[in-house]
Amino acid sequence: MRPSEINLPLARLARASYIKAMNPLFVTLIGIALLAVLGVLFAGLFSMARGGEFNKKHGNKLMRWRVGLQGVALVLLALAFLVGKD
């Protein structure tokens, strides 16, 4: 089968000339969001590993914050793809 006969959406997308580089603003925001996720993740893990009063009081909140920040990072990534599509 010749490459010109391939009719797959991803193959057409790979050949599309309108795909531009991702906006640097989104790259920066996504990087900040991912670093925040990493920071909260490690804070929660260290809290759980040590146990004690701090973990009882803040462990669950830290993990909820992690999930929320992951959602923010995913939304930013989706927005970057949508904006970069133009």
Which residues lie below 8 Å from residue 1, measured CB to CB, with a gap of 6+? Answer: none
pTM above 0.75, yes or no: no
The 10 Å CB-count burial string (b at 16+, else e) for 23-39 is: eeebeebbeebbebbee
More confident residue, 25 or 64: 64
Cα–Cα distance, 32 to 13 (Å, whole number): 29
Supply the pLDDT for residue 1.
52
Q: Is a pLDDT exceeding 90 seen at residue 70? A: yes
Of the candidates 40, 18, 32, 21, the residue with the CA atom closest to the CA atom of residue 76: 32
Asked whether the beta carbons of 44 and 66 are under 8 A apart, the reply is: yes
